[in-house]
Structure 1
Amino acid sequence: MAGGRFAPGHLGELTQLIPFEMVDEALIATGRVQERLRDLPSRVVVYLLLAACLFPEAGYPGVWRKLTGALAGLPVAAPSASALAQARRRVGSRPLRWLFDLLRGPAPTPQAPGTRWRDLLVVALDGTTLTVPDAPAVLTRFTKQAGNHGGTGYPQVRLLALVACGTRTLIDAVFGPTTVGETTYAPRLLPSLRPGMILLADRNFGAQQLVADIAATGAEVLVRLKNGRRMPVLARYQDGSYLSVLGTLPVRVVDYEVTITTTAGKHTGRYRLATTLLDHHRYPAAELTTLYHQRWEIETAYLELKSTILGGRVLRARTPEGVEQEIYALLVVYQLLRTAMADATSTQPNTDPDRAGFSIAWQAARDQVVLAAGVIAGTVIDLAGTIGQHVLAGLLPSRRLRVSPRTVKRAISKYQARGPRIDRTSYKATTNIE
């Protein structure tokens, strides 16, 4: 452990991925180092904010007790809730943003199955919303969304992320008020795209200028378009795709039908994809239709962030600055967990990273914080560590083809939840693509 007043500043075994020196550098770079040594040094406060994301069910005093529970015999401070709040305001959000900018990016697993397709790193772009407290200060920046049945009960934040589909690590993210749409936030993520990537996106991002701007980064694009959109046919290819243009950008278009068959019945849907991969010999249309399904990995990432970590809870912060601080802390912790999982699966050749259980890694990381274990690495480097050992011991089976009805799992009002029974069964399925 660190000594003296710095002892509570740790994140269990995850501290090895975000060591003391890194946090200190973030504080120096953003000018947030304490002017005098307090009972709550700035470094300790940063770790407190990160640990709070692992324990969303506990208030900050409760999180402090988890950080200090295994430090028996050490002279540890016992700050009040007010002191913890003042310390968080003193640190602000800038050190957390600095840490996220340093840690974000695809995990270095070039040989891992499922991370690349035909030598292209598969990434996805999409948005979601996070719920924040209904406090007067928060409402000055973040608003409630209007809609049926009175709209949302809480203000919301729009989060847009760029995710590596194979490892579900965060390449970049932006967030802000929901009064701004996803396609307006999207250009802020384009500097993180590179040649050698292929970006998957849904039809919300099929705007001509946005697709052209993505292509200008050197990254390839595979985006869904609306079925009724008129696309001129300039040339037809043997694989069923055809050459067209999106504005002035040459694209290849694939129209196809997907039929999903289960014991409950059969469903057929029509899709239209546009891609900047014009070589139909090297990039067959049939493979593109299968590749597009990987876009759902970003939906799984949001599920892990909002359901597994947050448990569907409203964020804690009751000021706009506090909301920004908490979201960056949440993104950092998610990235640390995903990095630990990728490191663990990389120790077993030919293991797909999506077989690592996120809930297992999250629970193991929480245990290591409470035990204050593995804070400083030993002389022998162990890529898996205790968290990784738990992950490897509980690897999920290889991905099976299953479907589940896309329904509202939680109604805004309990009265709206009454009515016909909702089928939430997951069915084994077979898929046919034409």
Structure 2
Amino acid sequence: MNVRSHVIANAAISPYRKGEIPLASEFIHSLPDDSVTLLDKGFFSADLLLHIQNESANRHWLIPERKGLVYTELKRYGEGDRLLQMTVSPQARKKNPALPEQWQVRAVSYEVAGKEKTVFTSLPAARFSAAQVSALYHERWEIELGFRDIKSAMQHNAMTLRSKKVDLVYQELWGLLLGYNLVRREASQAAVAHLRAPNEVSFKFACQFIANQLAIMAGALSPSHTQRRLNELRGCIGSMFIEKRPRPSRPRAVKISKTRYPVDRKAAPLK
């Protein structure tokens, strides 16, 4: 997903038996030049990350630090900004003999709410400061907002899909992704026309508005009026901007499990 526009650039659907890293490896060829891929820590893999940066021109990656790694500090660029060297595991080199024995990553450490965070990246220190790297990683959260839009605005928070057969599940998922991208594309073009950022358009209102207008256009307008109506539609979407607010910090917590028995939160402790 493009974190600036929330448009889905590529997708893959598979049975649960196939892991996320093999699925992500299939996307590498479609990553554009002059780009940065933001990943969460579950995708930490020397094979995957080196493949991203080495296959094409000026492609980089950014990922949170994986705890427990053994490394050697080679250079210190500044406060909280280091160049590290790590050993590629024998298991990874067995799967891909082309991998080097050692690889280098840049580690940027910064503080958030009194806690130190560290991210690894291939972005060169000569071109990108530590502050730019740390700020960029926080844009990864935008992809979660895109997934939320699909689940809440398009699926109305349904717990399951409607389809019951495997082929129909695939069809329904691809249909959702295509419909989502159509709305995002129209919203992005409307935002650019109004000199605003694409992710500032309310997806929920844009989705409802476009669905209603397409139904009207299909039944009441001749094909010759389609372009004019699309221009009017984009003009209306341009009024659906939302105010961007800083995301509140909500530490992860284990929620109480659902039970059919009543729970009295004010009950006295057992003695």
TM-score bracket for the superposition, by shorter chain length: 0.7 to 0.9
* Structure 2 counterpart of 1:251: 105
Gaps of 5+ in 2: 89-101, 267-271
Percent identity, aligned pairs only, is 25
Gaps of 5+ in 1: 1-162, 260-267, 422-434
Residues 420/164 of structure 1: CA separation in 2 closer, same or farther (3 Å cut): farther
The whole-number CA distance in structure 2 between the counterparts of 1:290 and 1:357 is 23
Q: Deviations over 1:169-198 (max 9, x none)?
A: 011000112232212221111121122110
The whole-number CA distance in structure 2 between the counterparts of 1:395 and 1:336 is 18
Q: Write the mapping of 1:8-407 to structure 2, written as runs, cut at 5 A.
A: 163-218=1-56, 219-246=59-86, 247=88, 248-259=102-113, 268-278=114-124, 280-313=125-158, 314-349=160-195, 351-373=196-218, 376=223, 378=225, 384-386=231-233, 388-397=234-243, 399-405=244-250
The whole-number CA distance in structure 2 between the counterparts of 1:406 and 1:377 is 54
* Structure 2 counterpart of 1:89: none
SS at structure 2 position matched to 1:333 = helix
Q: Deviations over 1:286-309 (max 9, x none)?
A: 111111000001101110111211
Question: What is the one-letter code of the residue matched to 2:168?
Answer: G
The whole-number CA distance in structure 1 between the counterparts of 2:78 and 2:161 is 52
Residues 226/417 of structure 1: CA separation in 2 closer, same or farther (3 Å cut): farther
Q: TM-score, normalised by structure 2?
A: 0.81
* Structure 1 counterpart of 2:269: none
- Runs (4 or more) in structure 1 with deviation over 6 Å come to 408-412
Residues 395/361 of structure 1: CA separation in 2 closer, same or farther (3 Å cut): same
Check conservation: 2:206, 2:240, Cα contact below 8 A.
Answer: no
The Cα shift of 1:383 comes to 6.2
The whole-number CA distance in structure 2 between the counterparts of 1:380 and 1:207 is 47
Question: What is the one-letter code of the residue matched to 1:347?
Answer: A
Higher relative contact order (CA 8 A, sep 6+): 1
SS at structure 2 position matched to 1:328 = helix
The whole-number CA distance in structure 2 between the counterparts of 1:298 and 1:381 is 32
More helix by share: 2
Aligned length: 247
Check conservation: 1:227, 1:271, Cα contact below 8 A.
Answer: no
Q: TM-score, normalised by structure 1?
A: 0.52
Question: What is the one-letter code of the residue matched to 1:292?
Answer: Y
Check conservation: 2:188, 2:199, Cα contact below 8 A.
Answer: no
The whole-number CA distance in structure 1 between the counterparts of 2:261 and 2:5 is 37
The whole-number CA distance in structure 2 between the counterparts of 1:311 and 1:409 is 24
The Cα shift of 1:285 comes to 0.5
